[in-house]
Amino acid sequence: MVKNQSEIEKMRVAGKLAAEVLIMLGDFVKPGITTDDINSICHNFIVNELECIPAPLNYKGFPKSVCTSVNHQVCHGIPGSRKLKKGDIVNVDITVIKDGYHGDTSKMFYIGKPSVQAKRLTEITYEALKIGIKTVKPGNTLGDIGFNIQKYVEENNFSVVREFCGHGIGKEFHEEPQVLHYGNQGEGEVLREGMTFTIEPMVNFGKKEVKILPDQWTVVTKDHSLSAQWEHTILVTKNGYEVLTIRPDENI
């Protein structure tokens, strides 16, 4: 749960490397690319360039090295032969293992020019992530994070997915605690310096209900409305937070 200095240093390295995958990928995500192409590009970069292990590959039977969730897919989309076309939005979720520690992050990509709805949903979801992150400091609770995310999302007339959440991370891909993206102020575990976990709100354009496809992995919105997600790995510091997976173009 709470990491020591040497573990935090390894988490910093893993987080930075995970961010590098998303930075690299930006040049490739264009109309005509398949989600399997995205998987192959990421796998080769993670293994050959970064000398890391792609954590999703064979995790509980997941068959690929990254998750690609397109349009109404909420999370855990399995890369395949689907070609991305103009107007699509796609979340690419990256987790790498370096020296036994995990770095986990995801980003939304526009394929060509997005619709007004898709752009607004994506931007509101990113803002919700930032609001959640800025809630992190010792003494606040996990419920504070969830409350602030939920309040912002619902004020903008979108909905927060309940069934999937952020999680503790370190030597294990998924550790305690669970980090819900909804909740009540003051409830849940109190944040302490040295804790590391992900915040990764999934926000639907329509209703919050989701279902899992027959592949047993891909989560979609029940009403077929668009969904967006962003994710970062966070360290609780003495006075606040450090975003371990931050990219140079971000200001959080």
pTM here is 0.97
Q: What is the mean pLDDT of residues 87-101?
A: 98
Q: Tell me the two tokens of residue 176.
A: 């305690």
Taking only the tens place, the pLDDT of each residue in 108-120 is 999 999 999 999 9
**247 DSSP assignment:** -
Read off the amino acid at residue 165.
Answer: C
Whether the CB-CB separation of 149 and 160 falls below 8 Å is answered with: yes
Give me the sheet containing 159-160, strands edge to edge.
159-160, 202-204, 227-229
Domains of the chain: 5-243 (3.90.230.10)
Give dist(CA 252, CA 161) in Å, integer: 23
DSSP string, 56-114: TTTGGG--SSSEEEETTEEE-PPP-SPBP-TT-EEEEEEEEEETTEEEEEEEEEESSSP
Angle value at C-alpha 157, between 155 and 160, nearest 5 degrees: 90
Residue 1 confidence (pLDDT) above 90: no
Inform me whether the pLDDT recorded for 46 exceeds 90: yes
At 193-226, the pLDDT tens digits run: 999 999 999 999 999 999 999 999 999 999 999 9
The pLDDT value given to residue 215: 97
